[in-house]
Amino acid sequence: MSDSRPRPGLARVLAVSLGKAIPLVVAGAGTEAVVLSGIRKHPVSTLLHPLRVQVQQRGLAGDEQGDLTVHGGLDKAVYAYPSEHYAWWNARRRACAQPDSGPPLPYGAMGENLTLEGLLESALWIGDLVRVGTALLRVEAPRQPCYKFNAALGYRHAVRDMVQSGYSGVYLSVVLKGEVRAGDAVIVQAGPRELSVDSVNQWRRDGRRQLF
């Protein structure tokens, strides 16, 4: 079993999460609609129970997306999110949602497949290679949230907050298939280092068009 104690200086996976495409109620301009979404992910591999999950070319085995025109696919096969941002999101929900915002967000609540410790967006560039378990992944882009994210987080400014904060997480493509589990070390190999994830997030904050 993986050691659950923090290891300074080493990035690692805290949880591997999957989700099925299920109905999601979204609100806007005084109306409600029901859409199909796979944003609600749940941990299937944790530090206490580090089960192995297969990484396939289009994502993790057993994971689903509701709208493949904007989610999933080769360039968005795996979504990784830093665990360090969870405290900030819990505080934002308490400040912006209903008085009782419920319990703290569990890992997977951001819609991520891999909840990471020790690897922030500021350390990554487009094209970097990321080795997790026996899989090799490539950084493709920071997440650009859609309206479904507001529904998942439970308050209407969640999309704005992700864009403004830069707490986006990153989409990864699969270079080499393999297996991942909670507790796996995360090793980054520098790519061309021409465009940083932080730069893309800054352009989005400034309202510029996506340039890649």
pLDDT (tens digit per residue) in 50-86: 999 999 999 999 999 987 777 788 999 999 999 999 9
pLDDT at 103: 87
Residue 125, pLDDT > 70, answer yes
pLDDT at 98: 59
pLDDT at 211: 52
Interval 168-191 mean pLDDT: 98
What is the spatial distance between Cα 56 and Cα 73, in angstroms, rounded to a whole number? 11
Q: Are 41 and 115 in contact (CB under 8 A)?
A: no
* 151, two tokens: 């529904």
Residue 126, pLDDT > 70, answer yes
- Assign domain 12-205 one CATH number from 1.10.150.250, 2.30.30.280, 1.20.120.450, 2.40.33.20: 2.40.33.20
